[in-house]
Structure 1
């Protein structure tokens, strides 16, 4: 594991073939199916364990769309006085996967006394990126408003996400929640964003955009790296919001240079605002298995999240 160093994105210097390879994480591995099977097998195991102990509430509807559901895993052991919730947002380039193969880390958090939720959302081309971002916001609002019902503290909600899920987690951290509900605080107290995309500009130039059909407005509104350096988006209030959120950012050492640069540039952007970021390049991990470290209580990623959740940020 090594510290991440800032490198600028190079997509403007790349021809189309090179660009598409740079934003194809599977170009660094032999068979993506191996890792998808791990997601499925570990998730099935986690669900079976939770069901056997009566600690899983499946398909909770957070919106009217059939895709707008989430699974909530309850802690296995006695929790502290203020119970905490870790929410996972899956990746898949906003067009693949679902909650069903994305709960592989549930048991790890349940064993540590935490609630664990996995959000399902509509996928492109069925949904635009605007709709996907809003669905995730509505899921978090639901979890915030129903905290007492499910037994965790609404002021102790943390997020993790991989790839597109890392992007969505960052968007949640940068949301002005006062536009949606009566609150003056950031309802997200910490995020762990792994191998995320934070500037959508190069995505719009590749085959990845075929189902997404990103608009110029979406690229500007949903690219955290394009937010104004001084204001960090308009209104200025959003600059204050992220000061009340802790950040962990990481990627695997076997990833394309552009994926690494996306994270390092986002870290540089945040630290430029005097915001502390815990960061690492994780050895012997690729874009797909680095997030599986969330299922291992002894991994660096898990340990950092547990430390993050032990801190209460006002």
Structure 2
């Protein structure tokens, strides 16, 4: 639980929203009859996941002077996520997202982010957060799509880097949030030299090295799961060459592959489950990974913790509202082969 009188151990920076999830699982979007109101935004989801695991966590975002902003803040307060760095932005609106759920592989979503408050966080808001006094700063690449949040993220990373605070980048590619999707790669490549840990799906890794907008194809309005062509091995090599110490490539239920700056490649198996809703799985992974990293666990164990968080969330119809607690994750891991399954033990 976050204590607003204490310095947080983790600060996450970027989007926050009200998320309206279809109540009609499997229905085509045009046939949806009702929605459940949750909260979302990758940094908010990660902050909530960290708080539920017992990490003192605060979120740096913006909300509007509106009831949606009150809804978001009320959720965070109840979860114990620090809201002391969240300004209400005059004249801006809290963000909203509407999502369909059509398992196993269709999850269309629509963003409402015109004049959104979370893109209005400024360098002064970052200064107020004292990111150099925390243990880890997590940033979302989507926060770099427009000013002033773009400069605010770069400034936060610069301040953390100067203070030797590790920065974790969620590559978080949302194609429709960029006026020119090639600029996504430009922003990511420019910030990577000061990033210690980067997380992304194979598609997001390719997007970070995007050269041609024609490489991206979005089907069924699955903004969070575009199809991207390119050479994944070359993209991974280029990211590592930019100075990242740890790169985690997420592959859904198959698990993750970890690359480090010592040349190690570590395959970490996932926890196979039948997903109801894959949205938010990557954010759950990040919170579990951060927990393990801050505990001083090795990369394999930290990623198993992340995989367990992701596997639990995909069984639920939402994101932040369903992040697991520490006890739930440890019980889940124990029931599904433990941190180090037999196949791993045989290799060492």
TM-score (norm 2): 0.36
Q: Which fold has the larger relative contact order, with Cα–Cα distance below 8 Å and residues 6 or more apart in sequence? A: 1
TM-score (norm 1): 0.39
